[in-house]
Amino acid sequence: MKQQRGFSLIELVITITVLTILTMGVLPLVKVAVKRQKEQQLRDTLRQIRTAIDEFHRDTIGMVCTGVALTSQQQVQQQQSSFIDPRSKVVISDCTIFGVDNPDHYPPDLETLVNGVNVLPRGSMGGGRGQLGVNATDVGGQLSTKQKVYLRGLPVDPMTGKSDWELRSSYDPHDAGSWGGENVWDVRSKSRETALNGEKYSDW
């Protein structure tokens, strides 16, 4: 009967050493790959939110708030907003969501993009080229209560794992440490970690 030959102690030591070296070399590569994937998710998420903010703002150009007291700055802005972006097919009709400290008409918060706002089709009451041609008080409730949603849900920050973002108002300085609260002009990650390219995620 033949004897079964097993591994010697030195062979086991060599095998374990080689596997350890390979593992130590692979783990950092795996961590980098995971981090790079999260960074791409962050870029995509930021682009999604910023696109929604820009789309919301486009839909406020040319809006008419009859019966609402407008500041002189708001009146000037309405007069200057003769050009309507062809990508905007509706105009926001609910003027109550904009406070007097938000004449730029950016969304007051991110929840507004998720909950939706009342809109009117552009040109539904006529009007010249580049003009709105609608008035929120001139149409029936059926049109004025039609809602448009800009975000299906509040995205999660892949770096923090939370739907909590650092907000910037159009009146906040670039290096502001807190949100002014007038509107949401931009969003950033609350993560203070450093990206693979050496930048801070909070600066993206």
Tell me, what's the pLDDT at 199? 95
pLDDT in tens, 97-136: 998 899 899 999 999 999 999 999 987 544 433 444 444 3
Q: What pLDDT does residue 184 have?
A: 97
The model carries a pTM of 0.73
pLDDT of residue 150: 97
Specify the pLDDT at position 135. Answer: 42
Instruction: Beginning with the edge strand found earlier in the chain, give each strand of the sheet holding 117-121 in spatial order.
Output: 90-92, 117-121, 147-148
Positions in the chain short of pLDDT 50: 1, 67-72, 75-76, 79, 81, 125-143
Predicted local confidence at residue 187, as pLDDT: 97
